[in-house]
Amino acid sequence: MGAVMLQGTGSDVGKSVLVAGLCRALANRGLTVRPFKPQNMSNNAAVTVDGGEIGRAQALQAMACRVEPHTDMNPVLLKPQADRTSQLVVHGKVRGTLGAGNFREGRGALLTEVMESYRRLRAQCDVVVVEGAGSPAEINLRAGDIANMGFARAAQVPVVLVGDIDRGGVIAAVVGTRAVIDPADAAMIRGFVINKFRGDPALFEDGYRQIEDLSGWRGFGVVPWLRATVRLPSEDAVILEKRADRGEGRVVVACPILPRISNFDDLDPLKLEPGIELVMVPPGQPIPAEAALVVIAGSKATVADMAALRAEGWDVDILAHRRRGGAVLGLCGGYQMLGRRIDDPDGIEGPPGAIEGLGLLDLETRLAGSKALRQVVGHALDAGFTGYEMHMGETTGADRARPFARFDDGREDGAISADGRVLGTYVHGLLASADLRRALLGRIGVEGAGVDYQADVDAALDDIAAELERHVDVPALIALAREAGEPTS
């Protein structure tokens, strides 16, 4: 049939959620659908069925389509390692590093591979729903662009612009986009959607018509504030800032927000537990003394984040927590930090070097070799789980004699301290298992609710799709997708 692309007036306007909701709405109409994001920048990633990695949002969108995630759905992934450099992942595999000096040149050269993935997806389905990145109004980034109009024009995919009314200035954001972009780019935009509206949409009717008159684009609908969004996996650091609410009478699980924290959506299933208050601890704040469990999440730059943890004084907080009998869980990079030492002799994550860890487990990690990317099934804490590995390096030491997990293929993973209060593993996605979540929480005196996390996310996608069907002209978007032309690149 074709394709349609959602671009935004800025970052965090809700493109990822709208793409996921539209994918589910189209799938519920009986269409075969695939998500696609030419270029993503995120340290939250997922392992695909073909043994690569893609942005976490595209894995969620694949779930919305009721298909397995594949590397073609996000052919270019940039994973920030430092303020000026990002790891470059192409078709699911690490290809090197892009810095401020070679970013545009390196990015533009990837358009051919982006188009290869797009063509493969389009051949598999009725509709490809494409997500842009950032905003086409960032005209300073237009040269070499593969994420927004550079892709749309090469693929001949019609665009719908998403504006966020909750942040204010949405009329200027939509109309201003028309004013600053190249006329040939503007011709690719066929309409707009207003997102995150609170209250009665009738109050915005005049503004809606004014956007249509001033931009020359038609409106496809006004989407209300989607409450079901909080039940979806987190994608980026913007969400972290919105999850620091405190509750009353619940057991605290605390996670420090390190500069290169990654895959922190591992903690999202804890939101289903009424007895748990998840506290994401921002820089400058101590880890709560009342925490029963401290979780150190994954990291894109483990050595640098270990140094940051120490600079914040969080190492003192964690060691004091441990002396009080508190439990500690390290996930992937967090697991490496639990050991005595982390070595990066080849500079895989940054400048070559080494750093002392927390010393809570008798382990050492050497960052070397190829990246482990695999989906896994196994048992841990006497409970079954499914998850995935996504890490560099090898961890060895005496505490590996008490593995955290045993996989069905016979391998062992992670380590547990002699008293069972410090646990570390390379596996992501563990807490999605209700049985394993219950077993872990039992160690801090909390009875898990046993809610099926994947089923809850799936139900949230249906709820969002139903809202889009009520408030967006979905048949018109389907008709627009049919207008997609044949790629020119």
Query: Hey, which residues does 388 pair with through a beta bridge?
Result: 375, 428
Give the three-class secondary structure for 57. Answer: helix
Active site annotation includes 70: no
Residue tagged active-site, from 70, 91, 321, 428: 428
Active site annotation includes 391: no
Buried b (16+ CB within 10 A) or exposed e, 36-45: bbbbbbbbbb
Cα dihedral 171, 177, 178, 180 in deg (nearest 10): 130
Give the three-class secondary structure for 293. Answer: strand
Distance from the first to the final alpha carbon of the chain: 19
Q: How many degrees, rounded to 5, is the angle at CA 367 between CA 352 and CA 279?
A: 100
- Residue the block writes with tokens 């049939």: 1
Please give the Cα distance from 433 to 423 (Å, whole number).
17
- What does DSSP say about strands 394-396 and 364-366: parallel, antiparallel, or unpaired? antiparallel
For the residues of 201-247, what is the DSSP string, one character each?
GGGGHHHHHHHHHHH-PEEEEEEEP-GGGGGSPP-SHHHHHT-----
Please give the Cα distance from 131 to 160 (Å, whole number).
10
Classify residue 400 by its DSSP letter.
G
CA–centroid distance for 362 within its chain: 32
Query: Hey, which residues does 252 pair with through a beta bridge?
Result: 277
| Residues 394/366, Cβ–Cβ less than 8 Å | yes
What are the residues whose beta carbons fall under 8 Å from the beta carbon of 441, sequence distance 6 or more? 273, 275, 276, 447, 448
Residue 72 token pair: 């073609």
| Residues 132/153, Cβ–Cβ less than 8 Å | no
- Residue the block writes with tokens 């591992």: 266
Residue tagged active-site, from 23, 125, 332, 471: 332
| Residues 366/341, Cβ–Cβ less than 8 Å | no
- Residues identified as active-site: 332, 428
